[in-house]
Amino acid sequence: MMSMAFVILAVLASECSSSKESNGIVFAKVRVNMTNDMSQHTLTIHCKSDDDDLGEHALSYGQSFHWHFKIDYFLRTLFTCDMWWNDSSGKLVKGNYDIYQATRDWKRCRRYCSFPIRVDGVYGFMRETQTFVLVYPWPK
């Protein structure tokens, strides 16, 4: 019994000391900001989680839609977004993507996650390299 308890304590202690990377993630307040970066096109987005439907928003060039939330205790926080726009030939381009997923995106962008949306796809800001990377190309 004693040794079992000791092992559990030891594991807990080592998890605490080795988890600097994830310190503060539970209940952290995060902001996600999606921006239409397509000068010729209006983008419509509709984001939701299990708990919240953020509604449909039409963004013209340069316009943004942002929201805040707290990461849930079990790190299940997930927002998915439907996005669509018409290309120059009038063809509908659309996708549905996991835009914010707590376990992945806490590393990627911490408390402020910025997504410029361009003609080749959805870009996401990477904290480690301080660059925008194409994370979801539009379907062909």
Q: What is the rounded CA–CA span in Å between residue 12 and residue 23?
A: 14
C-beta of 49 vs 64, nearer to ligand NAG: 64
Provide φ and ψ at 9, rounded to 5°.
-60, -45
Work out the end-to-end distance of the chain between its first and last CA atoms, rounded to an integer number of angstroms: 60
Task: Find how far residue 79's CA is from the centre of its chain.
Answer: 7
Among 114, 121, 126, 127, binds ligand NAG (CB under 6 A): 114
Q: What is the rounded CA–CA span in Å between residue 44 and residue 85?
A: 6
The footprint of ligand NAG on residues 13-32 (CB under 6 A) is: none
The footprint of ligand NAG on residues 38-97 (CB under 6 A) is: 64, 66, 86, 90, 92
What is the size of the binding site for ligand NAG (CB under 6 A)? 8
Write out the residues near ligand NAG by the rule CB under 6 A. Answer: 33, 35, 64, 66, 86, 90, 92, 114
